[in-house]
Amino acid sequence: MGASLVKLEAVAQQSARTRLLPLLHSELWHLRQVSMAEHLKAVPVEAAPMKAEPGPMAKEDPNVRGSKDRGLKKWEETEPQAKRLKNNEEDEEHSKKLPKRKIVLLMAYSGKGYHGMQRNLGSSQFKTIEDDLVSALVQSGCIPENHGEDMKKMSFQRCARTDKGVSAAGQIVSLKVWLIDNILEKINSHLPSHIRILGLKRVTGSFNSKNRCDARTYFYMLPTFAFAHKDHDIQDERYRLSPETLEKVNQLLAGYKGTHNFHNFTSQKGPKEPSARRYIMEMHCEAPFMREGMEFAVIKIKGQSFMMHQIRKMIGLVIAVLKGYVPESVMERSWGEEKVDIPKAPGLGLVLERVHFEQYNRRFGNDGLHEPLDWVEEEEKMTVFKEQYIYPTIIKTEMEEHSMTNWLNTLPNHDFDAGSQEAKADDGNTKAPASLKGSDGGGDH
């Protein structure tokens, strides 16, 4: 009877503007009465003696009347509860019917205060960018809560696993989500202001942001006094980079271009491991600029992939050469099998600027179903985010904490003619646990 009642209610609503409306409502009223009567019959009523009163009609026993009233009240209470249960089931069913699609998100974030990009389940004391991202995805209703606990369920993959303190203006993650309305606005409403989702695009079902990536571009922002020679130049913010020194910087950086064995630039690889060979497409230093009374410069580097700490050690070695702590020939020697103690520049100035999907774009970017992953329309948003959050954080932190100055003071402690104790230990193929790996380019990204 309940099913008939629901069915007639639906028909009545759909026929609200037809001639059948009065008839349907009449039939609906009749079914309600029958349903209530059947419910009352099912309510146990204790037998009570009936006393005849004078007159042609007898009065109903109050005990019986009370039982019927209680039955009526119970019927009236159970009907809305049943409707609520039905509505909840319909809402859950509606969520399941939402389209679940593979997408990519364009992310920008300031990495200060975070232990890298990758989430470390079970290590709540080390907060990562993905901790905040996954929380926002769950709260906004794009993914179910159990997907937040097990990211494999949403096919989650980051393009680069940036290291502690490293920022990004163009990080890409791929995942499956429910395509809810106003999805970007809802995700961003649950994120702190220094983490933003700048864009979203549909991709092929098998897309993997790490494996599909052809190259990654980083930049490293540093005060120019890092290039000042230790014996000939001033060593503080009064220093200004000359055109001749800038030319020398770019000459050294250009030496990295091409394919080399970078096993000395990470702690993960041995000299004979094929994966230690990496291809660098471009590396150069741009013209200096002033911020807050201090001169800064930006080094840009594009490569297929980078190992943990690789970029920071590449820059650290160039600075050591420019400052006069080591001869230029050590760069060639570092690509051989011999262990070389290479200093690692601070992580503060390192930023993942963009990732490249050139092969994917050629195959799917103009197929009429998918968009190319070039983010041309989001360029202005990326620039604004860098100006608002990334550059100011680097400048303010450098001026307050003097991270570059403190690191420069450690350079005399390096023995560039022999491997450090750490390097010798690494020669025994000791590798960091996967859960603790971070990198300039994302572990082995």
Sign of the four-CA dihedral 319, 320, 321, 322: positive
- What 3 state SS string does the chain have? CHHHHHHHHHHHHHCCCCCCHHHHHHHHHHHHHHHHHHHHHHCCCCCCCCCCCCCCCCCCCHHHHHHHHHHHHHHHHHHHHHHHHHHHHHHHHHHHHCCEEEEEEEEEECCCCCCCCCCCCCCCCCCCHHHHHHHHHHHHCCCCHHHHHCHHHHCCEECCCECCCCEEEEEEEEEEEECCCCHHHHHHHCCCCCEEEEEEEECCCCCCCCCCCCEEEEEEEEEHHHHCCCCCCCCCCCCCCCHHHHHHHHHHHHCCCEEEECHHHCCCCCCCCHHHEEEEEEEEECCCEEECCEEEEEEEEEECCCCCCHHHHHHHHHHHHHCCCCCCCHHHHHCCCCCCCCCCCCCCCEEEEEEECHHHHHHHCCCCCCCCCCCCCCHHHHHHHHHHHHHHHHHHHHHHHCHHHHHHCCHHHCCCCCCCHHHHHHCCCCCCCHHHCCECCCCCC
Residues flagged as binding site: 218
Kindly name the residue from 163, 341, 426, 440 that is annotated as catalytic: 163
**C-alpha to C-alpha distance for 54 and 7, rounded to whole angstroms:** 48
Residues flagged as binding site for substrate: 218
Catalytic, 181? Answer no
Catalytic residue positions, numbered: 163
